[in-house]
Structure 1
Amino acid sequence: MGDVWVTRHQPLKALTCYQQAINYLLFDFNSADIYTDPASFNSAFYTTELMETLLAKAEAFTLLYSTSHRVKDLDASLQTFLSFYRLTGFIEQFYESDDARMFISIKKNASHRQPIALCLQLFKLTGNKKYIEQAFLLDEQNKANTLALYLQENKLKASSNISASLLAEESYLKRSITAIVLKASGIANMKVLTRLKDTLNQYTVRLIKVQDKINNHTRLKKLNLGGNSISITELQKIIPGDGIILSYHIGDKEILGFAVTKDEFNFFSKPVDQDFQPSLQELYKLAQLAEGNNNRTVKSLSANLYRQLIQPAETWLKGKTNLIIIPDDELNYLPFELLTDNKGANLLSHYSITYNYSCTLLHQKTGNIQYSETKKLGMAPFNGKIPEGNWVQLSSSKQEIESVNGTMLLNRQATKQHFLQQAHNYGIIHLATHAYANDHDPNRSFIAFYPEGKVMDHELFLPEIYNLKLDKTRLIILSACQTGTGELVKGEGLMSLSRAFSYAGCDNIITSSWMANDNATAYIASRLHYYLQKNYGIAHALQQAKTDYLQDESIPATLKKPAYWAHLRLIGGFETEATTNWVGYAGFVIGLIVLILIVQISRNRVKRPRPGA
């Protein structure tokens, strides 16, 4: 009935109906006051209907404000949206599959622009910055929420007293289900498909039972998680003095940018220009072209996007060198390193740039890489001659992994089986190989190893990567085409191969956004490892490696187009580079000098003759 009153433009009567519906759908909630929203959802049963009712109530308050012009009504709309998000957070904790959680995430994302727009409107009306902080938290709740929850639960499992055999059985069942699903996708015979479906059902039932046992250990803690987004104060604790985060939200009418440093939280908003989306698409397309004379157009587009995305934050960027970008929607495709200021200098020349899916995931990162003390694995399956097929030889891939200075597997040694058996033992992994991103069916995306046997024997598909246990792996370098691209899911980001490695537990991934040039990638990769060996942070090492490539006079200018270097990007967090402790060192030297002087004075006193001797 509430919907009927809305169509008749009678929002107060609609709100009364929606409030009655909420009372009915929540057994322990009883309030006739339309300005009161549920804070707890322990008695929620009809959760889908409750979500729809809360959204309808929030929109009815917005309609009411259009005639009342009372800030109270606009704020009430925002508060109802926040109640909706508390409900979705409650539901997510009890969804065991990522597909189910993705459904909730997509549901949230479909409505998240409205409450963020409300926050901006309320800030303009009141000047109260709490609304901007709320906009930031709402935006965070709609970025990679499924991934964040998955990683959070894995940490919870690791800290709980769960038997290793139970976790191993869960892992085995997940791998088995993945293998069946992948196998079924290539079979047309109905009898075979029926048998596979029966087997799949059996494994699924077993998995549910195992996860129920695991939840007996973790359920209490899960209920006390209290949401999985990070507060601004918590975020600032992990930002170094030279660091800054730029997190973007693309609204229907405005671009909203949040700038977070160790000491400050700022924001900017500006109208979305008509040429914004076309410029994004055109720059991404042109950046991939190795041929043609498009430099002037690339520079023009880069300068235009700089004015819209970076220039409003220039004041806060002063004195910073370590930049993390949290993109939104189509910004996931943009290589920010290309953007140029009014002097023609690109961001690469000023900042080491890292990307991530959300600020919440930055809080999940752990420590720095001790390169010299870390076990390293390099694999190049296509360096030499390969069997006839669709694969092209990558003659420079050996050069890439030689610079790793670790275990090196070439050609026939670089098999999928070897990778699956050994990957979890290494802190740094460099894969110089082929890859394929399937935008229509992300589950068919894969990384290729030495081609032997059936397809499943040498192609590592995206769902298989999800099931890997790489929580001890600190850096994976995916030197392969299209490992950083894939289907864009609103609120979750690109369903890419690199994202799958994040699911597997790896903190830092260097990935490729488009088809890469073999020689250029080998050059940059070699310089990357050179700087990592010198204890550079990963982002700084990648920045310097790209800079070396661009400044190398032996490389023709035609090979310095963005297509050759801008494809590589780092997904990770802040690091503190290993530096000499000069204060401690100076104290040691001064102390040593004082000690020598004391000893020398003592010796002189011993040797000095007594008076009258």
Structure 2
Amino acid sequence: MILYVNLLTNKVIIILFTLFTFNYCFSQKVLSIKDIEKLSSKIEINSQLIDSLANKLNSLESKKELYHNFSRFFRIYGDNKSALKYGNIELTYFDKLNLKDKKYHIALHLVGCYYHDNNQFLKAIEILKKSARLDIYPKKAAQSLCMLGSCYRAKGDIKKSINYYKKGISSLKKLNNKKSIVAHSINLALTANFSNNISDIQDAINYLFKVDSIIKNKSYPNFFLDVFNINNSLGNLYSKKETFDIKKSKYHYLKCLRLSKQENKYFFLSLASMNYGELLLKIKSDSSIYYLNKSLIKNTNKKHQNYNLLKAESHRNIANYYFWKKNLKKALKSINISLKTSFNLEIEDMSPTKFQLHKTSERLNISKALNTKIQILNQLYLKTDDSKYLNQIIETVNISDQLVEIILEDSTESSTQFSWRNNISKIYKYGIYAARLLGSENLQFQYLEKNKAFLLTQSINDNNYSLNLPNHIVDEELGYKKQILQLEDQTLTSDSKKLKDSLFDIKFAYQSFKDSIQKIYPEHFESKKKVELTSLQDVKQQIDNNTIVISYALHDETTTFNASTGLLISKNKSIPFSISNIEKLKTDLNIYRQLLARPLSNKNKIKQYNTAANSLYNSLFPTDEIKDLIQNKKVVIIPDDNLQNIPFEAFITDTTSNKYLIENTDISYAYSMSFLNVNNKISRTPEKDFAGFAPVEFENEKLATLQHSAEEIYSINNNLNGITLTGENVTKDSFLTNASDAKIIHLATHADISRKPVIHFSKDSLNLHELYTYKNNADLVVLSACETNVGELKKGEGILNLARGFFYSGSKSVVSSLWKVNDVATTELMTDFYTNLKDHQSKSEALNNAKRKYLKNHSLSEKSPYYWASFILIGDTNPTFESNSLIYWILGGIFIVFLFFFSYNKLINKRK
């Protein structure tokens, strides 16, 4: 009986629906969203029904409107895939009608939003940029800018996200669109919560206070949601370490809790509980677990779009709580649930696929969870000595590596790239040490390489490929880069809104330019290869029996491993080693650096120096086997962190004789072996052997006259027969003009290592950022100036200094200085260095032999490393001037053959 009634009811609905549809089609009326809602309550809406309705309509305009209404309906009811499908169909009708009106702009913006909702961020960015560039409907252009901010946040490009939000909100303010201003200011704050830039965080706080004043009473649309989000965001921002204020953060979180309870909003109550629990965890309060557990109990609204994110974050924080309490098994279980939820994995501790890594919109939170998991696994290994945890560390490091690789592929903002390199550097170091304990030297070397100068190596690789594009394209791209770098440089010292707007506009135009070039020359972008890391086996094959490579990884105080690591590589073997007592190493490094920067003028200073220099020698070459292997060898040092600021050649190998390491070892430096291989493959076509520059005197009164600098370059040029510029002839323009085609570039001048490193000329200066748009063909650049190898340290990447800038612009190797050099000693060193180069010595031999000669010819305080150890060689070590011995051998061979035939003919003639 029940079955009969149901069948009868269904027939009635179908008849009614048919009559209803016929009525609309006959009258040529288009179903509104309300009509569709009523219809959906009676019968399932599917593609056949929609297409049928569209086919009954005569005009393209009506069909376009119908598909628009269905796409909006599906988005309202959470069917994002259908919303996207019918939004795209709507756009095809705009093309058929050749319409570019206000409705088109709305439709385009919505399709961009639909792609965003489906986590198809690359496509969303393409559509939203198109919408943002249109000048048809300013409101939608502004909202598209803000949606681009949301896309870039999901992709992990925080700086770019913040910039797009700021630009979009600025446009919305001009339009006085209060509702959108409030919504996107809250989204800006959500992005700033992932930034470590205090200026961005403070800006977001200011935005929130401004929009809070817009919401005055409960009659305001979305009153609860906006008030909650504003206070929740303020709580988040005040809980960050850069702006940490426990009272303010607590005040805003508790306000969220009260408001959620009053309104019976259980999802938001869960969110407020989770955030408040996380705050309490930061101050090590036992009450934190109460609120974190409460966030799970109340989290019942599984249909909410952010349900999985909240669940994952709750479990991540619960894992951190148990980690703090040393309940490692519970911590591991919670973090696995967090990652399972984020990736929608079927089982805990299952690895996500590459597709899932690309698809996720929660890259920032997932990165935190992966880092937490590695720390838990590390502690479990230290507690149990069970190698299964080391293997799980390796697995987790590899997932993190893949995630960051995806993020860096999409990112163009240098600040975002450096931030992610900093994050992954900490993770690689866990991988390095886990591989060391597992006895996998290949894997240890792989992570060591990944942790060194990856961005620089990738940039050099990309620049090399870009040269294959037509000249006008290369020139236009260079023009964009110059404008961007110049404006970025200016914004370092200015908070001008006009400057920031100009920077945003030129970056936006540059991105549009690159998008258009990619469509015209797709084969070029497809052929651009990622940097292939050099393997341990590759290194062993490349080096000779007289060469040793040593790569280091220093763990900082936040790392729970008790040792830093290194790997020595020779032709026939590799030796992993540990560096213990990191605190002592840091102390010795500080003493060493301080004493290097001035002459050792008394016995006490000499004793202090010798003690610290010998201690570093024993720490960084920790076994007798390693010490023996480097004797009388060419040693390539790949340093890490603060080791990049010291000269290894000035270590004391024996406190009895006070012998320096350089006395029987040739030292050079490299960013990584992968960097060396990529950089050495670049084709360089210099036209002259030498270009020397010595301003001597400077218009800047703060810069002292360098009386011996002209003598330095004249002496060098006597051997090389290139060009020399001195005095007021040495300007930025004359340098850029004359240095670009020189085999050797030599600068004898002043340099600064402020926030903006510069090289000084007689009347002007060359900033570091300008080197990134200058091209040279140098086999060797010699920066005979103060502190040219000093700069801002970026973990996982290296020091942002003038040496790095010259590598970026094309140099094969660079000699740079670690402290303020002595003018007289420098002239002596450089003269001998070039004499050795001209004598066909390798760059490494030439510099080290010049230092040895200095030590031999001086005594007492003049032998202090201050005078001779500042200059270090980075990069390729091969001779700049190849020996002609091969030619001589060939000529000799020809002469011997000639002599043989001459003698033979003479003998034959005698017999005749």
User: 1:480, CA displacement in angstroms?
Assistant: 0.7
Q: 2:652 aligns with which of 326, 336, 340?
A: 340
1:367 and 1:575 in contact (8 A); partners too: no
Q: SS of the residue aligned with 1:87?
A: helix
Deviations 1:341-376 (A, max 9, x none): 235321211122111222221212428999998431
Which secondary structure does the structure 2 equivalent of 1:375 belong to? strand
**Residue in structure 2 matched with residue 181 of structure 1 by the alignment:** 488
Partner of 1:126: none
Output the CA distance in 2 between the equivalents of 1:53 and 1:535: 54
The 3-state SS of whatever aligns with 1:485 is coil
Counterpart position of 1:562: 865
Match of 2:75 in 1: none
Residue type matched to 2:712 in 1? E
1:17 to 321, 337, 350: 337
Task: Provide the rounded CA distance (Å) in 1 between the counterparts of 2:568 and 2:889.
Answer: 32
Take 2:738 and 2:515, find their aligned partners in 1: how far apart are those partners? 30
Corresponding residue number in structure 1 for 2:213: none
Tell me which amino acid in the other structure corresponds to 2:872: R
Aligned to 2:815: 510
Q: Is the 8 A contact 1:16 1:32 kept in 2?
A: no
Matched, 1:286 2:595: yes
Match for residue 306 of structure 1?
617
Residue pairs, 1:474-485, within 5 angstroms: 474-485=779-790
1:43 maps to which of 359, 380, 396: 359
Counterpart CA distance in 2 for 1:369 and 1:213 is: 28
Match of 1:546 in 2: 851
1:323 aligns with 2:635: yes
Q: Secondary structure at the match of 1:476?
A: strand
Instruction: For 1:213-228, list aligned pairs within 5 A.
Output: 213-215=516-518, 216-222=522-528, 225=530, 228=532
Aligned partner letter, 1:2? H
- CA distance 1:307–1:315, shift in 2 (3 Å): closer
- Structure 1: which amino acid aligns with 2:315? G
2-structure distance, mates of 1:337, 1:318: 12
Alignment of 1:527-546 (within 5 A): 527-546=832-851
Q: What is the TM-score when the length of structure 1 is the normalising length?
A: 0.86
Residue number in structure 2 paired with 1:195? 498
Do 2:817 and 2:871's aligned partners in 1 also have CA atoms closer than 8 Å? yes
Alpha-carbon shift at residue 318 of structure 1 (Å): 5.1
When residues 170 and 69 of structure 1 are mapped into structure 2, their CA distance, relative to the original with a 3 A threshold, is: same
Distance 1:255 1:89 in 2: 25
Code of the aligned partner of 2:638: I
CA distance in 2, matches of 1:547, 1:60: 50
Equivalent residues of 2:691, 2:724 under 8 A apart? yes
Q: Go from structure 1 to structure 2 and tell me whether the alpha carbon gap of 1:477 and 1:318 turns closer, same or farther (over 3 Å shift).
A: closer
User: What's the offset of the Cα at 1:508?
Assistant: 0.7
Q: How does 1:129-144 map to 2 (within 5 A)?
A: 129-130=439-440, 132-144=441-453
Q: What displacement does 1:566 show? A: 0.8
Q: 1:432-581 counterparts in 2 under 5 A?
A: 432-438=748-754, 441=755, 444-451=756-763, 458-470=764-776, 472-552=777-857, 555=858, 557-575=860-878, 578-579=882-883, 580-581=885-886
> Partner residue of 1:610?
none
Structure 1 CA distance for aligned equivalents of residues 653 and 683 of structure 2 = 33
Partner amino acid, structure 2, of 1:32: I
| CA drift at 1:449 | 0.4
Identity within the alignment, %: 23
**1:358 aligns with one of 665, 672, 675:** 672
SS for the counterpart of 2:774 is coil
* Cα distance, 1:151 vs structure 2: 1.3
**TM-score, structure 2 as length reference:** 0.59
Tell me, yes or no, if the aligned pair for 2:457 and 2:679 is still in contact at 8 Å: no
Q: Which amino acid aligns with 1:170?
A: E
Question: Could you tell me how far 1:211 is from its partner in structure 2?
Answer: 2.7
Residues 511-543 of structure 1: CA deviation (Å, up to 9, x unaligned)? 111111111101111111111111111111111
- Give the corresponding residue for 1:609: none
1:488 is paired with a residue of what secondary structure? strand
In the alignment, which of 225, 238, 241 is matched to residue 545 of structure 2? 241
Verify: 1:83 aligned to 2:388, yes or no. Answer: no
Partner of 1:454: none
Cα distance, 1:593 vs structure 2: 4.4
Contact 2:813 2:873 in 1 (8 A): yes
Q: 1:210 to 1:320 in 2, by over 3 A?
A: farther
Paired residue secondary structure (1:510): strand
Q: Which deviates more from structure 2 when the two are superposed, residues 578-587 or residues 233-242?
A: 578-587
Question: What residue is the counterpart of 1:416 in the other structure?
Answer: 732
TM-superposed deviation, 1:117: 2.7
Amino acid paired to 2:503: L
- Could you tell me whether the CA contact under 8 Å between 2:793 and 2:799 is conserved in 1? yes
Q: Is the 8 A contact 1:18 1:56 kept in 2?
A: no
* TM superposition shift of 1:431: 0.6
2: CA distance between counterparts of 1:316 and 1:120? 22
Whole-angstrom CA distance in 1 between matches of 2:706 and 2:683: 29
1:303–1:589 Cα change, 3 Å = farther
Q: Contact conserved, 2:320 with 2:331, CA < 8 A, in 1?
A: yes
In structure 2, relative to structure 1, the CA distance for the partners of 1:528 and 1:367 (3 Å cut) is: farther
Deviations 1:566-591 (A, max 9, x none): 11111112426844348767755654
> In the aligned structure 2, how far is the partner of 1:170 from the partner of 1:556?
54
From 203, 221, 230, give the equivalent of 2:534.
230
- What's 2:298 paired with? none
Aligned to 2:219: none
Contact residue 339 and residue 366 of structure 2 kept, 8 A: no
Q: How far apart, in 2, do the equivalents of 1:333 and 1:575 lie?
A: 23
Q: Does structure 2 retain, via aligned residues, the 8 Å contact 1:478–1:511? A: yes
C-alpha separation between the residues in 1 aligned to 2:434 and 2:856? 48
Counterpart-to-counterpart distance in 2, 1:172 and 1:371? 23
Give secondary structure in 1 for the equivalent of 2:544. coil
Picking from 390, 396, 405, the partner of 2:708 is: 396
* Alpha-carbon shift at residue 331 of structure 1 (Å): 0.9
Q: Distance in 1 between matches of 2:381 and 2:817?
A: 48
The residue type paired with residue 248 of structure 1 is Y
Q: Which moved more, 1:459-468 or 1:289-298?
A: 289-298
Q: Which runs of 5+ in 2 are unaligned?
A: 1-313, 556-560
- Once the two structures are TM-superposed, the CA of residue 321 in structure 1 deviates from its matched residue by 2.5
Query: Per-residue displacement from partner, 1:50-83 (whole Å, max 9, x unpaired)?
Result: 3233334444544665777643343123211111
Determine if contact 2:579/2:620 at 8 Å carries over to the other structure. no
Flag the 1:561–1:244 CA change in 2: closer, same or farther, 3 A: same
Residues 381, 217 of structure 1: alpha-carbon distance in 2 compared, 3 angstrom cutoff? farther
Opposite residue 493 of structure 1, the aligned amino acid is: G
Following the alignment from structure 2 to structure 1, what is the Cα–Cα distance between the partners of residues 516 and 369?
34
Specify whether residues 221 and 97 from structure 1 end up closer, same or farther in structure 2 by C-alpha distance, changes over 3 A only: farther
Q: How many residues align?
A: 571
After superposition, the C-alpha distances for 1:231-277 in whole angstroms (9 at most, x for unaligned) are 11222333233211111112352232211123322222242254221
Aligned equivalents of 1:551, 1:371: Cα separation in 2: 38
- Give deviations 1:382-404, integer Å, cap 9, x for gaps: 2x5x5472121111001111113
Secondary structure class of the residue paired with 2:680: coil
Shift of 1:416: 0.8
Match of 2:907 in 1: 601
